[in-house]
Amino acid sequence: MDSTERPRGPHLEWTVLPSEIGPLLLAATPEGLVKVEFHAAPDRVDRMIGALVSRLGADAWRPDPGREELLAEPIRQLKAYFAGTLRRFDLPLDWRLSSGFNRRVLLELDRTVPYGSVVGYGELAARAGQPGAAQAVGNAMGSNPLPLVVACHRVVENDGGIGGFGGGVETKRTLLALEGVLPQPLF
C-alpha cells in the first residue's frame, strides 16, 4: 500500500496529516477528496486504507511528503483551517462513500451551516426535508466520510448539548472553540 510508483489504473492517493487534533488520514481520487479519517495512528492506517481500497476498487498510492498531487490542495486548505485563516473549504469532493439520505443531509449541512455556527440535529433534519428525523441525522453525521471539510462537528443537540462526534467529544469541543462557538480551553 505504500507503493513508490503511482498506479496506472483506478487509484487513490493517501497520506497522514499531523494536525492539532491528531493524525488525519486523507485520501483522494481523481474526482476529489474521498476520505478524511481521525485517529490515523500507524497501527490503524493499513486497516483504513484496506477498507477504502476494497470499497472503491482502486489501488492505493502514498506519495512522499510534499509530492502529493491529488492531496496538495486539501492539505493546504486543512492547514489554513487549523491556522484560523480558512473559513470555507473549496475542494472537489468524491461522494461515492455516501448516498441517499446521508448524502442529502451532508450536502445540506455543507450548504447551510457556515464556519462559526451550529445547527441542531432536528433543525438539520427539517432543512433536509425530513422533519422529525433527528436520529437519522445523527446516523448521517456518524457516517460522514469527509469530517472537517463537511463540518459535522457543527451539528449539536437541540437542547444545547454538544452531542457525539466520530473524532471524540474533546475533538468536537476543540473544533468548535477554533471556530469561536465555544471558548478556548484554559489549559
What residues are annotated to the active site? 152
Cα dihedral 146/102/84/36 (nearest 10):
-10
Closest CA to 153 of 161, 164, 137: 164
Closest CA to 32 of 149, 143, 166: 149
Closest CA to 12 of 97, 90, 80: 97
